Amino acid sequence: MTGWLRIVGLGPGAGRLVTPEAQAVLDQATDAVGYIPYVARLPDRDGLVKHASDNRVELDRAAHALTLAAQGRRVAVVSSGDPGVFAMASAVFEAVETGPPAWRALDIEVLPGITAMLAAAARAGAPLGHDFCAINLSDNLKPWALIERRLRLAAEADFAMAFYNPRSAARPEGFARTLAILRETCADARPVIFARAVSTPDESLRVVPLPDATAGMADMRTVVLIGSSRTRLIRRDGRPPIVYTPRFAG
Amino acid sequence: MTGWLRIVGLGPGAGRLVTPEAQAVLDQATDAVGYIPYVARLPDRDGLVKHASDNRVELDRAAHALTLAAQGRRVAVVSSGDPGVFAMASAVFEAVETGPPAWRALDIEVLPGITAMLAAAARAGAPLGHDFCAINLSDNLKPWALIERRLRLAAEADFAMAFYNPRSAARPEGFARTLAILRETCADARPVIFARAVSTPDESLRVVPLPDATAGMADMRTVVLIGSSRTRLIRRDGRPPIVYTPRFAG
């Protein structure tokens, strides 16, 4: 058996958002490797071994997956959303670069998925319809000073912004600081979208003006979007407003 | 018949990247509205009327789709990639905001898709694996001065970047200026990825160091990605290098 490794994006949660390409690989894999809740999404079947691991062990998990593929297994490394956006693809390539030279000869592909910010944006309207940026607020991975610098430059550039990992139990204060910086640099009432668990039964969506946004509105399952200075609200009777950023600027 | 309007992301080209959710809507629609090559992707079937229109008439197209939905038709407005990323969703909401008040009561949803930058990133490795931004280089929609300002601030923030609409016959010089600004602000040999028509039979992928990138390497079907200062290349025998941006920074 010739092994391979596929880094698979499962999308934000619902089966209807898993691409046929991803599903085909999941059907052919002998091994599924990933963070516990993502591996749990896959139905059990004969011939599939599940390897679920805890958060924050991404490099160990990547090395394990590469080892299995080198042994001839057909390995699906599963990520929520898109594996290339704050997920497992970079971890696998870090492991390839620093691992045994033979790993570079492995058959490795990344299969894209619907990333959380785009699922959230679709639910809200089109808040990312003009230039935007995506920032991972986890300061496990970089110093807070760099996050702050990026926030200030992104506001100056008038990007709409998407924030991944806004808040965790280990660092509750970071997102409050993010909101404080945005209030200072944006100085307006542009909409902030808190989109939680989009496409799952736990989905919720909340739109508040920036001055009213608080850190407690986000948890580990939330992606947060904020408009640019141009972002608009369309109010509707009895339904949430539509949030969209016009295509034109200037 | 109760009408609805769905703004559907078809993904970058291949059927295997169309979500089941999008496919279900395409199967139920009475009308498909969109730019000629996107409508052409849909197979003909009884009960589906295709309304294909030229580029640069997005607002007229949106108003037409809304008029059909208000008449009770089931309308799929189709976009390549994700409809919320430099595509039809913002145009539809612009038309809703400025159109008849009754349009606000319509049943409208956006269905996300695999956007070009994420399909391209997956092919190259994980170049967008850390903070990044997405910029539409079309200066039909905004003044060049704003594009230039965003490019300089994005480089200062050390974002990886994705560029949509890098080049068209109507404005051949804009992308050359973009590359000149990047060479000046980045001042290194970080990789630039030219990804053309990803997932279609015309797919091509080219990775060149920034000093060697030229405007002629992009056309209307190309999305261009550029790494941050941290982006790395993994060289492989007889195959293209893997381009990835590590998760860590600082």
Q: What is the overall mean pLDDT for chain A?
A: 95
Q: Taking the model in full, what pTM does it have? A: 0.97
Q: Are A80 and A87 in contact (CB under 8 A)?
A: yes
User: Tokens at residue B194, please?
Assistant: 């030219």
**Mean pLDDT of the A14-27 span:** 98
pLDDT > 90? residue A132: yes
pLDDT > 90? residue B250: no
From B81, B243, B135, B242, select the one nearest A112 (Cα to Cα).
B81
Identify the weakest region by mean pLDDT among A117-121, A141-145, A193-197, B238-242.
Answer: A141-145
B 74-103 residues inside an 8 A Cβ radius of A: 82-86, 89-94, 96-97
Are the Cβ atoms of A111 and B104 closer than 8 angstroms? Answer: no
B170 confidence band (pLDDT: 50, 70, 90): low
Contact status of A20 with chain B (Cβ, < 8 Å): yes
Contact status of A54 with chain B (Cβ, < 8 Å): no
Q: Shortest Cα distance from B15 to chain A (angstroms)?
A: 8
Q: Shortest Cα distance from B217 to chain A (angstroms)?
A: 23
| Domain B4-114: CATH superfamily, name plus number | Tetrapyrrole methylase, N-terminal domain (3.40.1010.10)
Q: Shortest Cα distance from A145 to chain B (angstroms)?
A: 9
Q: What is the pLDDT of residue B23?
A: 98
Contact status of A49 with chain B (Cβ, < 8 Å): no
- Architecture in CATH for domain A117-244: 2-Layer Sandwich (3.30)
pLDDT > 90? residue B53: yes
Domain ranges within chain A, ordered by starting residue: 4-114, 117-244
pLDDT tens, B119-160?
999 999 999 999 999 999 987 778 889 999 999 999 999 999
Contact status of A4 with chain B (Cβ, < 8 Å): no
Residue to substitute from B79, B117, B149, B244, interface A, most A β-carbons within 10 A? B244
A 168-197 residues inside an 8 A Cβ radius of B: none
